[in-house]
A and B are shown apart, each in its own frame.
Chain A
Amino acid sequence: MDDLRKRAKELLETSAVKVVIGYEQGTANKTRALFVEKAEDADCLIFDSRCVQNLATYVTKREVKDKGKMAITATLPVMRSIIQLASEFQVNDNNLLVLGITPESKLVEFKNLSEVETFVHQYQIEIDAKNKEMLDKIAKMTQAERWKFWIDELSPCFKCYACRAACPMCYCHRCTVDFNQPQWIPVPSHELGNLEWHIMRAIHLTGRCIDCDACYNACPLAIPINLLTKRMLEDVKINFGSYQPSIKADHLMSTYKPDDKENFIQ
């Protein structure tokens, strides 16, 4: 992608940004994140269909953020993540410039995050057919079958927290699982510990998860934990209408309205 390299070079040469976050060739036909700080290194940037890691996870990483203004190579899921992060005051126009890559692989530079939002809103978040089929299959299980399914899937989890680390929305300086006074979630990766961690993760991402599958792609054991967040996405859709990240939006899990149909909180 020559235009991406050219633009990255210009941005660095003019000091418009301090770092361009993009992709480079990795090991064994994989691609990986690249942080370009010198214009001459921009030639290492690549973009193709293998570039699926959600780079938005880096814009809240202290060591990256501290470099100064960032530019980020952003596919649609990355742009969605950025808008959600903007709504949570984690990024803004002063610290982030978006070099968008459209679903047609065209480079499009946005003046500000508001333009990114407009672009993102052209597309609905749709769960792909294969995963939808799996969600339906799980929904049709009896309670006992579903319990067994999840115990079987979650038992191998050894709590490396790659899912948390890869997720752009898991930027908390200190995660709930890291608190020990009180200890909310059991630390050991036994049945209960794993179950509580993954349920907590899914709940904390409800109304915020943009369905990028970074958690699943990061899992060294390929546990289909993205099915949990996908289920929540579907439930949000049924109960509150389709979710779309927006810079100025009420947050689903932290919004209280006096006319809520549920009365348990009144």
Chain B
Amino acid sequence: MNIDKRLVRKDSLEKLFDILKQNSKTIYAPFSKNSKVSFREADSFSGITTDYIQTTQSSKEVAFPRNEKILNYSKDKEGMKVKGIDLNDIPEVVLWGVRPCDTMGIGELSAIFNWDYKDEIYNNRLSRVTVFGFSCSKSDDYCFCTSVGGNPGNTQGSDILFTQLGENGDYLAEILTDKGSSIVSISSALFEKTENIEKEKFLAEVPARFEREEIRGKLEKFFDSQLWVEQSLKCIGCGACAYVCPTCACFDIQDEAHGKSGSRVRCWDSCGFSTFTLHTSGHNPREVQSQRWRQRIMHKFLIMPDRLSVYGCTGCGRCSRACPVDMNILEHLISIQEVSL
């Protein structure tokens, strides 16, 4: 299929933003706070930052918020009344400025939320998200998308992928889905017809560093390796890696009671926490950090491909950037590949 390619002038992005607003879209875009770039709701175009290799947090919150009410309840003489969440309240969202490693992550996250049980809230949220991917012209030491099936101009997961044609240049817009086309239809003057533009020369160069199939093969025989102990010795067991990850989907269910009524809330959780697998009996099948670290790597590079046919890592490098003790996932994956069995 030929992709519909258009040219969007640099100055047209603000106009596009305004048109989306006029069409009642909620826009999430990257903003800088305390020198960290994160997605948040954008009221106006000014202030949206473009100067980032990768945002500190992934964009997964738009479909999988850190805290989400999944039902409300109240108790009275007649008993308990449970009320589900009104899915009509979910807004139409445009996710603006997402890097290709995050757009790819949406597919991996969706695989988890539709593995067996189809998560209604997640799927409803995602169905109302239009993804504006922005290709990468820069990368850093932490990036490794090309080792895990991605690339700096990957269209996977985007509804429209924008690629800036040189510093301060105009944008090539690749219209990839019906959602993308519907955006073009409300702002067609901004999406100019264009001759075939090649985006490749404007993309960052990210060399491939390992073969993920090879790692998967190693992991099958690797459960009892001492390597997990060595790698995880400096891990302090926080959840920073999981919370910034575009594909980590673990959650905890909490009831928040206020007298006779309350709500049930789904909250992010992390397999790195010591209490994550703690049983009521007091037994903990993952007693030490090495077992938790092993779970993290195994889940992404063995369990997910086995069960869901997708890997759980997009090479965004966020976990390594966010790690307070410099646990570098790329380095650890390379050392797994290098081990001779």
Please tell me if the beta carbons of A26 and B326 are within 8 angstroms of each other in the complex: yes
Please name all residues of chain A whose beta carbon is closer than 8 Å to the beta carbon of B252 when the two chains form the complex: 187
A193 to B38 alpha-carbon distance, docked (Å): 21
Q: Which of B264-293 contact A (CB under 8 A)?
A: 265, 267-268, 270, 273, 275, 288-290
Closest-CB distance, B295 to chain A (whole angstroms): 16
A6 at the interface (CB under 8 A from B): no
Interface size bracket, A side: 35 or more
CA distance A30 to B325 in the complex (A): 10
- Residue numbers in A under 8 Å from B320 (CB-CB): 27
CB contacts (< 8 Å) of B289 on chain A: these are 61, 63
B22 touches A (CB below 8 Å): no
From B36, B229, B325, A63 is in contact (CB under 8 Å) with B229
* Binary CB contact string for chain A from 162 to 205 against chain B (1 if under 8 A, 0 otherwise): 10111000000010001000000011111001000000000000
- CB-based nearest B residue for A218: B324
| Chain B 234-263 per-residue mask, 1 if CB under 8 angstroms from chain A, else 0 | 101111101110000000101010000000
Residues of B near any A CB (own CB < 8 A): 33-36, 38, 56-57, 66-67, 140-142, 229, 232-234, 236-240, 242-244, 252, 254, 256, 265, 267-268, 270, 273, 275, 288-290, 320, 322, 324-326, 328, 331
Residues of A within 8 A of B326 (CB): 26-27, 30-32
A160-B238 in contact given A187-B267, A218-B324, A221-B34 (Cβ < 8 Å):
yes
Contacts known (A156-B33, A158-B243, A221-B38); A188 close to B67, Cβ less than 8 A: yes
Distance A189 CA – B326 CA, assembled complex (angstroms): 25
The answer to whether A220 and B267 touch across the interface, beta carbons within 8 angstroms, is: no
CB <8 Å contact, A156 and B38: yes
Q: List 19 A-B contacts (CB under 8 A).
A: A27-B142, A33-B234, A33-B325, A57-B236, A63-B232, A63-B233, A160-B239, A160-B242, A162-B236, A162-B239, A165-B238, A187-B267, A218-B238, A219-B324, A220-B36, A220-B56, A220-B324, A223-B34, A224-B34
Question: Residues of A with Cβ closer than 8 Å to B?
Answer: 26-28, 30-35, 53, 57-58, 61-64, 156, 158-162, 164-166, 174, 178, 186-190, 193, 217-224
Q: Which residues of B contact A186 (CB under 8 A)?
A: 254, 256
Q: Which of A32, A158, A219 contacts B234 (CB 8 A)?
A: A32
Additional A-B contacts beyond A164-B238, A220-B56, A221-B33 (15; CB < 8 A): A30-B326, A35-B234, A61-B236, A63-B288, A64-B233, A161-B239, A162-B240, A166-B238, A178-B275, A186-B254, A187-B254, A187-B267, A189-B66, A189-B267, A190-B67
Q: Is the CB of A220 within 8 A of B273?
A: no
Per the bound structure, the CA–CA distance linking A189 and B290 in Å amounts to 27
Q: Which chain A residue has the least Cβ–Cβ distance from B266?
A: A188
Contact assessment for A222 and B35 in the assembled complex, using a CB-CB cutoff below 8 Å? yes
